[in-house]
A and B are shown apart, each in its own frame.
Chain A
Amino acid sequence: MMMDQSSDISGFQKAYDTTRPALPGGGWLQELRHIAMTRFMSLGLPGRKLESWRYADLKALRKTPFQPVTKAPEADIAAIEKAAIAGLDAPRLVFVNGRFSRPLSRLHTLPADLAPKSLRDVLMLGGGSIRDLVMDLRDGDAFDQLNTAMMSEGVVIEVPEGMQVKTPIEIVYLVTDADNGAAHLRNVIRLGQGASLTVVESFAGDDSRFFTNQITQTTLADGADLTLLRRQHEGSGTVHVSRTYATLGKARFQMASIASGSTSTRHELRADVTTEGGHVGYEGIQLARAGQVLDTLTFMDHAVPSCTSTQTYRAVLAGQSKAAFQGKVLVRRDAQHTDARQKADSLLLDRAAEASTKPELEIYADDVQCAHGATVGELDADQVFYLMARGLAPNEARALLVEAFVAELCGNIANEPVRDAFLADARNWLTSANAAMDAPKEGDQ
């Protein structure tokens, strides 16, 4: 069995071997990459038997030997604009098939002392704090190892102490004409004391068979405020695995994400709150269509007293699709006065859809407030009838109700063009999901 499993992923070893000469970084990093790859091969891809991976669908990763794209990043600016957020006047970093494109980006609008660096450049130099961050994942799981072994592109943003960045930084990842390609991305975002920043990521792409493997490491010093907004709408051939790490002091970390992309998506948010008074907020919207598996896992690690975390998850499932949410909250013995809340609601538009929500609360402190709730339901027939009786067609009634369900989450996003983009994402998704639902089924007249 072990043999089978490693042979399943032998494509990754080959990809590593051929890519290695082109990977940035020498010395310690080369060595680390080698160890990471060896570990990945012996760990293998996580299987369904692992509780934290039981809902994910990694089939495609075993079948296709995804090869990091070496071809120069080229794309139509129109495709970038379409993927990006309409009306957002912000500096923009563009990655095509996982490769950074300077000409397609617009960096000139950035304040000089904020200038994001390319991960490739930072790794080439190899020194300083990047080493500690990379080392942090030394003992991580298979995807940490794989990412460490193969990472070559990404952004490094360091916001100096006290700097409040008003305009968001936008990152666009486009997949185009890249069958069997892979992107192993690593982003590093660090906020100094009292600094604040908003980063908006948009993922989009055509139907290339592709593997996106992204890790974002964020650290927030006391008083820092980071908002990470994420739109994941990659094409139907993509497997998307991404995780966001947050390590924060007495700071605020906020994440909102909307995902409708990829045939299979796994996103993780893992947050460590290490100083009293820290706060983590997560709002996740998953929109799943026939054939898709959207899997979300969060892990809030409360190690010190008086920190808060709030998580709100909403999924809408059309057709024969799956969406899963596993939300783990760990309250360690010293973390008195923790306030940790979690709510997960799923809406099934089709009987064949499958929603799974699994809250996991592990609490070792006695004076804490922890709450969780989960619901799975269908559209309310009375509500649909009420809307139809007023003139809305069934698909319009569904659209209005689903939009309302989703809008309750992304309605809180402060930046207007970003908020509008989230809502437009939901509407667009629904239009196509509706079209699929209204299409005559076999056997119908």
Chain B
Amino acid sequence: MSTLLDIKNLHVAIKGEEILKGLDLTIASGEVHAIMGPNGAGKSTLASTLAGREDYEVTEGSVLYQGADLLELAAHERAAKGVFLGFQYPTEIPGVSNLNFLRSALNAQRHQRGEPPLDGGAFMKLAREKAGQLGMSIDMLKRFVNVGFSGGEKKRNEMVQMTVLDPTIAILDETDSGLDIDALKVVADGINTMRGADKAILLITHYQRLLDYVKPDHVHVLADGRIVRSGGPELALELEEKGYQSVA
């Protein structure tokens, strides 16, 4: 298996305060990794840094993606190269419909990759199919991006975006939080369709229950800006039982 993402000694500061303090993580194609860890540990900071948030300052370390420096790319370039971030708190954008947004995003990515744009009909077919699989109506897609969506609906919407954009690596930040039991199953199914030999998934979660549906190959504990422990799926069970105190 080839290395897809290689993070070495990553230090990240937000407004001058160091949040990630030398984080190492290697993800190979075909793998599913899960990161767990206490509130405020830096999980979302890691996710946003990988997606290219500009105000998060990388002060030390390196990130290679597909063998090339990921950190020198702007957020939209990373997206076009197949990096997807499922947001912990998806942003509301009044005035922009989900469909318009998603089509603009998809075609912006295709443009960067030198592919022709998808026309209206082909896009609608794709959007309809993917939304349908995630139990989201076309009417929801016509609404403004995340505006007035419930917590669970927002997460579902992230998954619709993911399946339409079809990334190579999906970083899903607490996509399971706020989902009811049925929705969790639907979203897990969506994530599982993303699995593939040339793809990878990084799940950030607080709960074992998502991992029941999406079996991780590796589980890591992120505490105080570092990966403090790594193991197999059994680590998640141990954490659920004993809490972070015991492992960190």
Contacts and interface: CB of A to CB of B under 8 A. Distances in A.
B51 A389 contact: yes
B75 interface: yes
Given A383-B91, A386-B91, A392 B96 contact: no
Interface in B86-134: 87, 90-91, 93-96, 100-102, 104-106, 108-109, 112
Interface residues of B, number: 32
Most buried by A among B54, B76, B80, B112: B76
A121 interface: no
Interface in B56-98: 74-76, 78-80, 84-85, 87, 90-91, 93-96
B229 interface: no
B192 to A, nearest CB: 22
A388 B83 CA distance: 11
Interface string A38-65: 0000000000000000000000000000
Interface in A352-383: 380-383
Nearest to B93: A383
Size category of the A interface is 20 to 34
Contact of A400 (B48, B51, B90, B96): B96
Nearest to B89: A382
Contact of A391 (B53, B79, B91, B95): B79
Contact of B93 (A401, A407, A408): A401
B90 A390 contact: no
A382 B95 CA distance: 15
Nearest to B109: A391
A404 B52 contact: no
A404 to B, nearest CB: 3
Contact of A389 (B52, B94, B102): B52
B91 A407 contact: no
B104 A408 contact: no
A388 B53 CA distance: 9
A401 B76 contact: no
Contacts of A400: 96, 100-101, 104
A196 B84 CA distance: 53
B147 to A, nearest CB: 11
A390 B165 contact: yes
Given A400-B101, A400-B104, A388 B96 contact: no
Contact of A392 (B52, B91, B94, B104): B104
A39 B70 CA distance: 69
A380, A388, A391 pick with most chain B CB within 10 angstroms = A391
A193 B216 CA distance: 74
B55 interface: yes
A381 B106 CA distance: 21
Contacts of B104: 392, 396, 400
A392 B105 contact: yes
A404 B51 contact: no
Contacts of B48: 385
B163 interface: no
Contact of A404 (B90, B95, B161): B95
Nearest to A411: B95
A130 interface: no
A381 B55 contact: yes
B52 A388 contact: yes
A385 B53 contact: yes
A403 B52 CA distance: 24
Contacts of B106: 391
Interface string A406-418: 0110000000000
Contact of B108 (A380, A386, A391, A405): A391
A400 B161 CA distance: 17
A407 B105 CA distance: 19
Contacts of B165: 390-391
Contacts of A390: 76, 79, 101-102, 105, 108-109, 161, 165
B91 A394 contact: no
A109 B3 CA distance: 70
Contacts of A408: 94-95
B24 to A, nearest CB: 24
Contacts of A407: 95
A266 B86 CA distance: 46
A400 B93 CA distance: 10
Contact of B96 (A385, A393, A394, A401): A401
Contact of B76 (A391, A404, A405): A391
B93 A404 contact: yes
Given A381-B55, A388-B79, A393 B94 contact: no
B75 A385 contact: yes
Interface string B146-171: 00000000000000010001000000
Contacts of A403: 95-96
Contacts of B78: 389
A316 B243 CA distance: 51
Nearest to A408: B95
Contacts of B80: 391
A441 B154 CA distance: 39
9 contacts: A385-B51, A389-B78, A390-B79, A391-B109, A391-B112, A392-B108, A393-B112, A408-B94, A408-B95
10 closest cross-chain pairs (CB), A and B? A404-B95, A391-B109, A390-B105, A388-B75, A391-B79, A386-B91, A391-B108, A388-B76, A404-B96, A391-B105
